[in-house]
Amino acid sequence: MTEIHSFGNLPVIAHSWNKDRTQIALSLGKSDLRIYQKVAGKWKLIHTLCEHLSRVLAIDWAPKTNQIVSASADYNAYVWTLENDVWKPQMVELQRTNRAVCCAKWSPEENKFVIGASDKNVAVCYYEKEQRFWAAEMIKKRPKSTVTTVAWHPNNQLIAVGSCDYRCRLYSAFVRVVDGQPQTSNWGTIKNTGDLLYEFQSESGWLHDVAFSPLGDNLAWVSHNSIIFAVSAADPSQITMEVTNYLPFRCILFMNESTLIVGGHEFSPLLYNYNQKQGKIEFIEKLDRQETATGRQSVGIMTTKEIVIEAGQELRGDVDETLTLELRSGKAEIFGTELAIGHKYQFTSGMKFSIFTYWGCTIISSHDDYYVARDENPMHIYLNVHGMLEQLRQKADAEKTRGPRIMVAGLPDVGKSTLCRMLVNWAARLGRTPILVDLDVGQNQISIPGTIAAMVVRRPASVDEGFRIDMPLVFHYGYKTPGENIGLYNEIVSSMAMYVNIRSENVEKSLISGVVVNTCGYIRQEGYESFKHVAKAFDVDIIIVLDSEWLATKLISDLPSVKVITLPKSGGVVPKDAAKDKFRENKIREYFYGPRNNICPHVFTIDFSDVKLYKIGAPQIPDSCLPAGMILKNPYNKIMPIAPSPTLVHHVLAVSSSNDPEQLLAKNLLGFVVVQHVDPDKRSLTLLSPQPNVKNRLLIMSDVQFVDLK
Ligand SMILES: Nc1ncnc2c1ncn2[C@@H]1O[C@H](COP(=O)(O)OP(=O)(O)OP(=O)(O)O)[C@@H](O)[C@H]1O
């Protein structure tokens, strides 16, 4: 019998029941764990466990020992124990994990647990009794991508690990101080922690869940492309798979040695039988007979929902399917751009949005891929900063001086780009024309990855298409992080600052409106130095540091003449780890095909003799390889001609506005092309380009690549 439980309108990211299922621990996409208890038929919040700094991604409640392990996007895991009705956290010593911890599972005997992270690490964790801390044994032969799921073999010494590299791996999780002696297993000899026993290749598709059968002789997993896989210890070379037409599966469970239940976006559990001898996985039945409740049908029906957002609140969402939102009444904005009443705004899969209302509003939504954030959001604080900047502009206007120059800084994924976007949007709505400078070479808002850019913002960005890119100034850098060639990065930053200074001084409106500089989240070591360089080059008056006391304190002492303000980050900001490559790809695709995918770029072939190709920055030669006493000039900004070759395929080439190779370094770019094919026999290149020809133009090779899979 199905029982429906309701815990408000936040998405349930992870959950785990206590032993007798009278309590449930939930992550509702926040940094806390909430424990609910059923009292008189209603769920009552009895504990809120706060220690994590970011979204809790996994929870596992050990039934016998009554301990909870939680894992979070803050790179940490905690073990919680109940003492005198208080849940006490103890941090797990995951020294080498530097990305979100995505999954955590107690072993059957509950004396160990395993965690998997998006930096590919898998750790077997146990309690170090003498030193009284949770220790972690890291697995050496790690998966090649984010670890999404883990499962324990009933013998307490083997684990199955599923990841985004489409593989399921079997490791030994034997820990001598906990287990004493290794057990015998049908899957091979167990010796040391982390020994890789098997690596099973799936078809393409991220693995979402993996499970052992009750006796541990069979193993099965499901992937995002709706395939079920199973393998038996009797013959691990024989992987059986069942390709289905259902929506992606998220979980799998063995009921006995051969019966499997899978579930996911189809909204109905499905029963299958794994016949190992015949190498078959056979469908038995769909368990939920209410046909109308399936995910597929609900996609088709598109029920609309009316959402009332109170003044000062945010409606946030992570779009799974295409979502349409319409402002029915009131006033609301998305990252500083006002919404028009009655206009249907479309958000495609993978997009994140936040609708903020200062006055209260009603929104009509096509799906329920959203939640109304009831937490404290920092929008009022951001708006106050905008108010302060506007006062400075008014003062500059009255006194005919320079308007405010602001730089936004912080660690990666704290909302720097979003805050810059809001600040220039709000300014543009008041008729100001600030200069937006984006120095983020990984995810530039103005140009494609691998460049830095600046432009005058005359109107707020469009919700659907972003900023209207009008005569931008774009410089080639060629890499996705400043650390790849920090010398070159600093040099082009100086040139950009010079141009921006000239521009703002020559146009009165721009001078008064000021400059907003977005930076990369690369702030350690030489990154921090480069960051000070940015502040000096643009002669900024104010640095806004998002969510980092450490950085703010350092800057206050290093740049005493600059006003440093620390602001909190929004709870809606989500780490883009997995989505960064997609974002970059989309940005390049948008460049060639337009934001609405309705532009048709040119594809043409050009002779080797008609292109002039260059690369900026020669590899560094260590001093030890040079003759004694010889000093080589730093080659970071060396301009080198290169010959076309097949290694160029998929590389982005920047089209320079300069005709003189010596001037390539900090000259505005006219555009970009992508090498699609190189034919050494015919001595020709095939290029994807918005223009029909690039003959006689100087092209600069970028490390950034784009594979045009339409
Ligand atoms: N209030 C919010 N609600 C929902 N999503 C948000 C909110 N603010 C920011 N985001 C989303 O969070 C993600 C990260 O934000 P953003 O790109 O501004 O961070 P960043 O610090 O500039 O990142 P990076 O260091 O990678 O440049 C983006 O996808 C953005 O759209």
User: Each residue of 222-273: pLDDT tens digit?
Assistant: 998 889 999 999 999 999 999 888 888 999 999 999 999 999 887 789 999 9
How many angstroms separate the alpha carbon of residue 214 from the centre of ligand 1? 43
Q: Would you say residue 388 has pLDDT above 60?
A: yes
According to the model, what pLDDT value does residue 624 have?
Answer: 67
According to the model, what pLDDT value does residue 342 have?
Answer: 87
According to the model, what pLDDT value does residue 300 have?
Answer: 34
Return all residues near 279 (Cβ < 8 A) that are at least 6 apart: 238, 240
Confidence of residue 2 (pLDDT cuts 50, 70, 90): low
* ipTM associated with this complex: 0.96
According to the model, what pLDDT value does residue 292 have?
Answer: 41
Helix/strand/coil for 577: helix
Return all residues near 255 (Cβ < 8 A) that are at least 6 apart: 261
Percent of the chain with pLDDT over 90: 64
Chain segment 19-39, per-residue pLDDT in tens: 999 999 999 988 899 999 988
Q: Would you say residue 642 has pLDDT above 60?
A: yes
Do 373 and 572 form a contact (C-beta atoms < 8 A)?
yes
Chain segment 127-136, per-residue pLDDT in tens: 999 889 999 9
Please work out whether the CB of residue 413 comes within 6 Å of at least one atom of ligand 1. yes
Whole-number Cα distances in Å, 640 to 70, 479, 618, 635: 52, 16, 8, 10
Q: Would you say residue 683 has pLDDT above 60?
A: yes
According to the model, what pLDDT value does residue 632 have?
Answer: 58
Q: Would you say residue 559 has pLDDT above 90?
A: yes
Please work out whether the CB of residue 444 comes within 6 Å of at least one atom of ligand 1. no
How many angstroms separate the alpha carbon of residue 572 from the centre of ligand 1? 8
Please work out whether the CB of residue 372 comes within 6 Å of at least one atom of ligand 1. no
Mutate to test the pocket of ligand 1, among 30, 418, 517 (most ligand atoms within 8 A of CB): 418
How many angstroms separate the alpha carbon of residue 352 from the centre of ligand 1? 8
Strand partners, 476: 451
Q: How many CB atoms lie within 10 A of CB 177?
A: 12
* Distance, CA of 509 to CA of 397 (rounded, Å): 9
Confidence of residue 692 (pLDDT cuts 50, 70, 90): confident
Please work out whether the CB of residue 521 comes within 6 Å of at least one atom of ligand 1. yes
Q: Would you say residue 358 has pLDDT above 60?
A: yes
Residue 416 assigned ligand-binding role:
yes
Residue 605 assigned ligand-binding role:
no
Q: Would you say residue 576 has pLDDT above 70?
A: no
Return all residues near 625 (Cβ < 8 A) that are at least 6 apart: none
CA-closest residue to ligand 1 atom 31: 352
Please work out whether the CB of residue 440 comes within 6 Å of at least one atom of ligand 1. yes
Chain segment 605-636, per-residue pLDDT in tens: 999 999 899 999 876 666 666 666 665 566 78
According to the model, what pLDDT value does residue 114 have?
Answer: 97
Average pLDDT value for the chain: 89
Instruction: For each of the domains in the chain, give its residue range(s) and CATH number, in order of start.
Output: 1-64 (no CATH), 65-287 (2.130.10.10), 302-373 (2.60.120.1030), 379-580 (3.40.50.300), 601-705 (2.40.30.330)
* Distance, CA of 440 to CA of 518 (rounded, Å): 7
Instruction: For 177-209, give the DSSP string.
Output: HHHSSPPP-TT----STT-EEEEEE-SSS-EEE
Confidence of residue 370 (pLDDT cuts 50, 70, 90): confident
Please work out whether the CB of residue 417 comes within 6 Å of at least one atom of ligand 1. yes
According to the model, what pLDDT value does residue 222 have?
Answer: 94
* Distance, CA of 225 to CA of 268 (rounded, Å): 17
* For range 166-175, the mean pLDDT: 95
According to the model, what pLDDT value does residue 377 have?
Answer: 85
Report which ligand 1 atom has the smallest distance to the Cα of 583. Answer: 29
According to the model, what pLDDT value does residue 291 have?
Answer: 44
Percent of the chain with pLDDT over 70: 93
How many angstroms separate the alpha carbon of residue 356 from the centre of ligand 1? 15
Chain segment 477-525, per-residue pLDDT in tens: 999 999 889 999 999 999 999 999 998 887 777 899 999 999 998 766 7
Mutate to test the pocket of ligand 1, among 309, 372, 413 (most ligand atoms within 8 A of CB): 413
According to the model, what pLDDT value does residue 435 have?
Answer: 95
According to the model, what pLDDT value does residue 280 have?
Answer: 93
According to the model, what pLDDT value does residue 633 have?
Answer: 60
* For range 3-30, the mean pLDDT: 87
Judged by average pLDDT, the poorest of 45-59, 155-169, 324-338, 355-369 is 355-369
Q: Would you say residue 372 has pLDDT above 90?
A: no
Residue showing tokens 């929870």: 59
Chain segment 287-338, per-residue pLDDT in tens: 875 544 333 333 333 457 888 888 888 998 877 777 889 998 889 999 999 9
Q: Inter-axis angle of helices 486-506 and 526-537, to 10 degrees?
A: 20
Mutate to test the pocket of ligand 1, among 573, 576, 581, 584 (most ligand atoms within 8 A of CB): 573
Quick one: how far is CA 175 from the chain centroid? 33
Please work out whether the CB of residue 438 comes within 6 Å of at least one atom of ligand 1. no
CA-closest residue to ligand 1 atom 9: 573
Chain segment 196-229, per-residue pLDDT in tens: 999 998 767 899 999 999 999 999 999 988 899 9
